[in-house]
Amino acid sequence: GSKIDLIISHKIFGVEIGVVEVSGPSHKVDKTHFLGDRVKIARNLKSIHKQIERLATNPNLASLKRLKLYGIQVYLDEIIIYSMTRISASYWVFLREQSLSIPSTSALFRNQLPAFFDHLWSLNEMFKEVDCNFKTKQ
């Protein structure tokens, strides 16, 4: 649909810092849906970044350039992590940071799950490092 599937908020600052989009069932290849959802993630991250700028009491480009937001896309048996940063007043960078394979073979679960959970934990740590450490208007 046109709305994002999940929004991630910063626990302390109470601002949105990321989005998650699930692009169809794990068994159906649909490149058009995948690409459309990737664009949706980029659009939403840019919108969140602008929202944070509006909330900042003293927004300056230097502090806003440190702000890195993340988007997660689940497609087939893969989790793809994107980031969005602002590099100047007019330009943004949207990058594919990494991808993780989702364990999909039940015979291999015992071997695959520990590494998969380790990767999920690293995602948690990545979101904890989002720098929202500037005052926002209340």
**Which pLDDT score, from 0 to 100, does residue 138 have?**
45
Among the residue ranges 4-8, 90-94, 124-128, the one predicted with the least confidence is 124-128
Report percent pLDDT > 70 for the chain. 92
Query: Other C-beta atoms within 10 Å of 137: how many?
Result: 7
Length of the chain: 138
Distances in Å between the alpha carbon of 67 and those of 47, 56, 93, 94? 13, 12, 12, 13
Residue 127's closest CA among 68, 54, 58?
68
| Single pTM value for the model | 0.82
State the Cα–Cα distance between residues 107 and 110, nearest whole angstrom. Answer: 7
pLDDT digits (tens, 9 = 90+) for 15-26: 888 999 999 888
Identify which has the larger pLDDT, 1 or 121. Answer: 121
- Identity (one letter) of the amino acid at 33? H
Nearest to 75, CA basis, from 27, 127, 107, 129: 27
Which has the higher per-residue pLDDT, 49 or 129? 49
CA 105 to chain centroid, in Å, comes to 26
3-class secondary structure for 47-78?
Answer: HHHHHHHHHECCCCHHHHHHCCEEEEEEECCE
- Scored b (16 or more CB within 10 A) or e, 56-94 reads beeeeeeebeebbbbbbbbbbeebbbbbbbbeeeeeeeb
